[in-house]
Amino acid sequence: MRTISIANQKGGCGKTTTAINLSACLAYRGKRVLLIDMDPQGHVSLGLNIDIHDRENTVLSILELSNDSRLSLADISENVSENFDVAPADISLSTLDQHLSMVEGRESRLKHAISQVHSLYDIVIIDCPPSLGLLTFNALIAASEVFVPIEMSLFSLHGISRLMEIIESIKKKTGHEINTKVFGTIVDKRTRISREVLENMKNHFSDSMFETVIRSNVTLKEAAGYGKPIIDYSKKASGFQDYMMLTEEVLTEKRMEQTLSVEDNKSMFLNSDFERRFSYFGPDAKSVRVGGNFNDWNPTDEFLMKRDEYGMWTKNVLLKPGIYQYKFIVDGEWVEDQNNSNYINNAYGGTNSVLEIGKKDILNGKEESWQGA
Ligand SMILES: Nc1ncnc2c1ncn2[C@@H]1O[C@H](COP(=O)(O)OP(=O)(O)O)[C@@H](O)[C@H]1O
Ligand SMILES: [Mg+2]
């Protein structure tokens, strides 16, 4: 089971929107998902139209009770759609600090509660509050992964280092690995601030950053207003496409990690061919190819992408380290990769997506250390 906390102490950066829509897309892809609201504002329930008035049991009931209590997360959860359960919270959750002020192990309450339901779910998503108190601590200690949404504003990167420090200290103290990844949200690539923030993020976080960016899309806001994930509101919206792309990355990442740990990654580098997976989400497309300067912009049948049952088109291509430009050819029309924020203007007044293979590994001197190992 994977446990993913969506954290950033800044409010309004898309945590709840991501928690809801990533959960819904993962459930759509067949994963059994539990979404836990750790924010006393109860926005998860609002965004999914779950009535929390006069509810006897909420997330607080689980956390305030002693570890051997019989009440489990499954007992307090509500099923919102196939494979998708929610453990709701309300304002009472803000009293947890007082309830547990002198209790030992109070930071591990959530971890323990999740371990009790591990056989019921494939993935647990935790929506964190906009603060770095006991609630966020519980969420971080429970997590195997932390995803940090960063929105495109002047100070959006401020404070991230504090969050990273806390994650590092938890790793040291508990000895458990927490894989941390950032991604851009509410992105408008036409604006300079979006481009600058994304550039800064790439420099700071390099491969700890998702390639997918979530574009600014009012339909996401609208869907939340109607109490629905975007997938149940509009499959035409860019917000749906973006969260499906993020989901694909979240699911593939794990697969790649597994194959990498089995194979010898040393030989992979020395052969210096990198397998690069191209993804395009287009449920309505009839045919999709990938073309770029690696195939002389002439995508033969070899570069046809393969569609899965959900409408995700993928193709793995072997590439030597270098910088590449590419586009997708969707039903004969050349389109850029909307989820890649790296692009340059081409000679035809349009843009090409840009991709860099292998550079980081060379710069980090990984090759040397691998040979020395
Ligand atoms: N990609 C997006 N495009 C447009 N609006 C968004 C997007 N993501 C989030 N929002 C809106 O921004 C506001 C804050 O988002 P939210 O997910 O609640 O942030 P947080 O949980 O970090 O406080 C909400 O009104 C939400 O609908
Ligand atoms: Mg929120």
Of all residues in the chain, what percent carry a pLDDT higher than 90? 73
Distance 218 CA to ligand 1 centre (A): 9
Distance 303 CA to ligand 2 centre (A): 41
Q: What are the CB-based long-range contacts (under 8 Å, 24+) for 163-171?
A: 163/7, 163/8, 163/9, 163/132, 166/132, 166/137, 166/140, 167/140, 170/137, 170/140, 170/141
Distance 319 CA to ligand 2 centre (A): 40
Nearest CA to ligand 1 atom 14: 12
Residue to probe by mutation, ligand 1, list 125, 186, 210, 212, most atoms within 8 Å of CB: 186
- Are 123 and 115 within 8 A, CB to CB? no
| Chain segment 196-248, per-residue pLDDT in tens | 999 999 999 988 999 999 999 999 999 999 999 999 999 999 999 999 999 99
Q: What are the CB-based long-range contacts (under 8 Å, 24+) for 131-137?
A: 131/9, 132/9, 132/162, 132/163, 132/166, 133/97, 134/96, 134/97, 134/100, 134/106, 134/107, 135/38, 135/39, 135/40, 135/93, 135/96, 136/7, 136/9, 136/38, 137/107, 137/166, 137/170
**Mean pLDDT (whole number) for 351-356:** 90
| Chain segment 73-123, per-residue pLDDT in tens | 999 999 999 999 999 999 999 999 888 888 888 999 999 999 999 999 999
Q: Which domains, and CATH codes, for the chain?
A: 2-260 (3.40.50.300), 263-372 (2.60.40.10)
Q: Which ligand approaches the C-alpha of residue 240 most closely? A: 1
What pLDDT sits at residue 266? 45
Residue type, 114: I
Q: Which sign does the torsion angle of CA 115, 120, 121, 127 carry? A: negative
pTM for the complete prediction? 0.86
Q: Report the atom number in ligand 1 closest to the C-alpha of 19.
A: 17
Distance 207 CA to ligand 2 centre (A): 26
What pLDDT sits at residue 68? 67
Of all residues in the chain, what percent carry a pLDDT higher than 70? 90
